[in-house]
Amino acid sequence: MSRGESKQGVSFRFNPRTVERLRRRSAEVGAPQAVLAERYIDEGMRIDEHPGIYFRDGGSGRRPSVLGTRLDVAQIVETLRQNENSIEETAEYLDISQAQVEAAVRYYAAYRDEVDRWIERSRTIAERERNLWRRQQEALAG
């Protein structure tokens, strides 16, 4: 959901065990039940629509990744661009199957803006970390 977009109220009935698991998970991670339920439904639908994709948490947030790898969709897309959009070369370079690269491309085609924001955010973080490392090296040398 994009920023500024309003949410719509919906009512569902769930198995009591599912509700209890959601309540416990909400307490464990410190997130409201409604936020977790929305995330689980959204990610579940995306997984159904894009076989070969799963979601994982990391230091810089939750992101779509390709099953059978620890690679994010964004990483595969960036590598694909660096290999002149060659699925074959990208698969060979990353040591994954062409089907895995294609799964990332299909997901990217559906959620391009989201993945592009993730790529830009990752570049910003990487640049900040490189600058920090340089300053540390200068401090040690000086």
For 74-126, the pLDDT digits (tens) are 999 999 999 999 999 999 999 999 999 999 999 999 999 999 998 998 888 88
Name the region of 28 (left: φ>0; alpha: ψ -120 to 50; beta: rest): alpha
Phi first, then psi, for residue 63 (nearest 5°) are: -150, 155
- 7 band by pLDDT with thresholds 50, 70 and 90: confident
pTM across the whole model:
0.83
Phi first, then psi, for residue 118 (nearest 5°) are: -65, -45
* Distant-in-sequence contacts of 133-137, Cβ < 8 A, 24+ apart: none
Residues 33 and 23: beta-carbon distance below 8 Å: yes
- 6 band by pLDDT with thresholds 50, 70 and 90: confident
Structure token digits, residue 127:
């640049």
DSSP state of 62: E
Rounded-to-integer distance, Cα 113 and Cα 38, Å: 20
Residues 77 and 83: beta-carbon distance below 8 Å: no
- The confidence score (pLDDT) of residue 129 equals 92
